Structure 1
Amino acid sequence: MKQDVPPPYSAVARHAVFPSPTHDEAARYNYLAALNKYLSGALGAGNKIAYDTRVLPAFRAEHGRDPADRFEIRDAMNADDWHRYWSALKRNSMEMRQQNGRAITLRQIDELSAKVRQFNEGRDTLELDPDLAQPPYMTAADIHCMPGSYYGEERAGDMSTGANYDSGFFATTAGALGALTDGGGQALVEWIAKERPGWTPRRILDLGCTIGHNIVPLALAFPDTEVIAIDTGAAVLRYGHARAQALGATNLRFIQMDAEDMSRFPDGHFDWVQTTMFLHELSGKALPRIITEAARVLAPGGLMFHLEQPQYDPDMPLYEQFIRDWDAFNNNEPCWSAMHALDLKQVMADAGFPRDSQFTARVLAVVDRDIFPQAPAGDTEDHGRAAAWNAYGAWKADA
């Protein structure tokens, strides 16, 4: 059977501040994209076979029962040769992706820095806070194996973390999020157009924006809306702001800020507060504080919207919980497991959103199939890296 391969790296959109790869660097990304697709597909399927045919029967023979939780499955699977082989490949693919992106960026850091400065200097749409302390959940690990995590800087005024992040997203997702890796943001635009046709929010706030790839589509879709994106990392904000300016999102403002304290924004300031694959980065203490702050700055009648992966509720099979937990233990995602075990609906209820005002929705990435004809179709995903998410949302009651 012919192996389905992702689109070539040449299909990635090269905006004005995008790092330029050499032939060999692009070839490495093509290899890694294909490897990731193979790992999530043909090889990944072997994990369930190993569990059903070897691991589960051996566990039953030893304990006289089925595993009680995802952690018992993890302990048992970590002794299986196939799962160890697959995990090693998957971990190494991420490390190789980071090494390639970092090499591409640092090779041209002076040139990239000059390009970024051209879009940043003299504009009031980028606001940095050199005194802002990084929250502990950001410093606990190099998240996603990215050297320096999301906030690291090689030198004063650096933007290399953002450039590395943008450069390699294609390989991580095997092209599933489109030429600008903004399939999540495009999905937000499509969802709101269907959910509330003709609605134009006055202000939108994006929390944990990184380089803004998921908020730029919203800013472009609502050119008359004031859009603010915040993050704690200066390097990703410098790059993200320049990227947004290069793509024409001039109504998008980037601010270095910890979402646990948004006191500079008055109550009810925003009509839409949202995150995209950000909640799983948060500690158990930070997450409810951020949700509470987000509820405070949301206007009556406004939308709270969080794109994430499904929570580990009692209806999710334990094996699925285990395989979704892989990133927590193997990809430097220390908050992933605990966050997905939270009763997120109760957290939102505690923040002032009654359960009957909340909703969940399945949101699929929007991908240009003229460029990416082999992108996943329909309701498919790779446990956080592909084209489908659960949305946890609520409309705030009118005053």
Structure 2
Amino acid sequence: MSKTVPSDQKLDVAPPYNAVARHGVSPQPSHDEIARFDFLANFNKFLSGALGPGNQLAYDKRVLPAFLKENGREPQDRFEIRHAMNDDPFHSFWSALKRNSMEMRQQNGRAMVLRQIDELNAKARQYNEGRDTLELNPEVAVPRYQSAVDIHCMPGSYHGEELSGDVSAGANYDCGIFATTAGGLGALSDGGGQALVDWIKKERPGWQPRRMLDIGTTVGHNIVPLALAFPDTEFIAIDTAAPILRYAHARAQSLGATNIKFIQSNAEDLSRWDDGTFDWVQTTMFLHETSGKALPKIIAEGYRVLADNGLMFHLEQPEYSDAMPLFEQFLRDWDAFNNNEPFWSSMHALDMKDEMVKAGFDRDELFETGVRAVVDREIFPEAPTGEDEDHGRAAFWHAYGAWKNADQMQEAAE
């Protein structure tokens, strides 16, 4: 006998993968591939929602009492908690499931893309060839901090190529975001970019930046909404990986964002651009994929090319401040040790305000805020709305920003 769910009780399920919007270079899924992504999206919601709180119970009921008994004190940092939690059977089980969910996401996306790789490459060429808005440079080396591991367990990471002129890395990344975020970024996985549009329109109504620089653009999903919202602005989107850029450019062109130029370049050296070239310098969940040596160079170069009264804006997750409980730090650190993101832990342990001051900002120019993903609620009514969803990675970001010399500009105008 089937059970009817009462109308006042909503099932905590992810939106269906067949509701994902298609663009000009979208991989076309089969029935089975749709089913696998639907399973993985809901599996991730289950891991973060139903099973996730079990980690806190395991810590409170077993791990912490055992640690206190053995050491006579509380854990001193997130690393001691991690070592203790790794021996707990529940956390080991949860962690293994979470790792497997990422591997299965990559396997499904990659199999879907490779099945139609020739067709996808051909579609991308139609948008890419003969356009001056895509500039690739084979002399740009992929940094070791991105080539040494398959980031996010993605085979070949961002730069892997199967064929000459390949876009498979970008296609795999694009189609798999749905499963990782359980649909929390909307039909085009551009909820972060849509959130940026909402934020800047409210923060500075009527502002019209001349040029914007998007660093670490990947498939351009966060920059396209901004380019469409500011059609008179010149957008420059850079990345070191050619396959990602080929896909990103074709994707943007097919969506009508023709005012973005995608350039293969390393943000540690922006010498091709003069001081004060850009009114907005942006990164979105990128800095945690750079090394401790590269990050300050990137911020310093961003400061140099940022014009007076210009905006620098970095979307990441909150830093591990003294106000954040050690157990929360431990949970947020999971990606560093289990999801091939080796710089996640050290980056979030930085004081981003100090890093921006070292780059040249005055401390009183800095600000922090939060940005929540904006999605189409008619298509994705159950998309995550709180920072607690998957430890905040799917729908909410912490922002570190600064307006360069804005007060001085205002004083001069007065």
For the aligned pair, the TM-score class normalised by the smaller chain equals over 0.9
TM-score calculated relative to the size of structure 1: 0.99
Count of residue pairs the alignment pairs up: 399
**SS of the residue 2:391 aligns to:** coil
Report what 1:166 is aligned to. Answer: 174
Q: What letter matches 1:352 in structure 2?
A: G
Residue 187 (1) aligns with residue 195 (2): yes
Question: Displacement, 1:140?
Answer: 1.9
Distance, in Å, in 1 between the alignment partners of 2:148 and 2:234 is: 33
Structure 1 residue runs of 5 or longer lacking an equivalent are: none
Unpaired runs of 5+ residues, structure 2, are: 1-8, 410-414
- Aligned equivalent of 2:276: 268
Distance 1:308 1:382 in 2: 14
- Match of 1:371? 379
Q: Is the 8 A contact 1:205 1:274 kept in 2?
A: yes
Deviations 1:57-97 (A, max 9, x none): 11001100000000000000000000000000000000000
Tell me what 2:5 maps to: none
Q: CA RMSD in A?
A: 1.0
In the TM superposition, residue 2 of structure 1 has moved relative to its aligned partner by: 6.3
Q: Say whether residues 1:75 and 2:87 are aligned partners.
A: no
Amino acid at match of 1:22: S
Q: 1:220 aligns with which of 228, 246, 250?
A: 228
Which residue of the other structure, out of 81, 86, 90, is the alignment partner of 2:94? 86
Q: More displaced, 167-176 or 382-391? A: 382-391
CA distance in structure 2 between the partners assigned to 1:54 and 1:297 by the alignment: 52
What is residue 297 of structure 2 aligned with on the other side? 289
- The residue type equivalent to 1:296 in the other structure is R
Equivalent runs, 1:257-336 vs 2, <5 Å: 257-336=265-344
| Residues 185-222 of structure 1, C-alpha deviations (whole Å, 9 max, x = no match) | 00000000000000010000000000000000000000
Task: Give yes or no for contact 2:174–2:219 (8 Å, CA) kept in 1.
Answer: yes
Deviations 1:325-352 (A, max 9, x none): 0000000000000000011110100011
Over residues 251-275 of structure 1, what are the superposed CA-to-partner deviations in whole Å (9 max), with x where a residue is unaligned?
Answer: 0110000000110010000000010
Q: In 2, Cα distance between the equivalents of 1:355 and 1:315?
A: 20
Distance 1:96 1:384 in 2: 22
Could you tell me whether the CA contact under 8 Å between 2:278 and 2:306 is conserved in 1?
yes
1:132-152 Cα shifts (integer Å, max 9, x gaps):
111111012100000001111
- 1:114-125 alignment, distance < 5 Å: 114-125=122-133
Q: CA deviation at 1:382?
A: 2.0
Aligned to 1:357: 365
SS of the aligned residue for 2:67 comes to helix
Moved more, 295-304 or 380-389: 380-389
Mapped to 2, the partners of 1:190 and 1:380 lie a distance apart of 22
Cα distance in 2 for residues equivalent to 1:149 and 1:378 = 29
Distance 1:378 1:82, change over 3 A: closer
Instruction: Give the deviation of 1:131 after TM superposition.
Output: 1.2
Report the counterpart of residue 145 of structure 2 in structure 1.
Answer: 137
Distance 2:62 2:386 in 1: 32
Deviation per residue, 1:117-166 (Å, 9 max, x gap) = 00001100000001111111101210000000111111211110000001
* TM-fit CA distance, 1:377: 2.4
- Asked if 1:230 corresponds to 2:238, the answer is yes
Matches of 1:10 and 1:76, distance apart in 2: 41
Deviation at 1:376, TM superposition (A): 1.7
Residues 354 and 193 (structure 1), Cα distance of their counterparts in 2 relative to 1, 3 Å cut: same
CA distance in 1, matches of 2:56, 2:11: 20
**Is residue 32 from structure 1 mapped to residue 20 from structure 2 by the alignment?**
no
Structure 1 counterpart of 2:157: 149
* 1:378 shift after superposition: 4.6
Secondary structure in 1 aligned to 2:292?
coil
DSSP-derived class of the 2:212 partner: strand
CA shift digits 1:229-251 (9 cap, x unpaired): 00000000000000000000000
The worse-fitting range, judged by mean Cα deviation, of 378-387 and 20-29 is: 378-387
Q: Secondary structure at 1:383's aligned position in 2?
A: helix
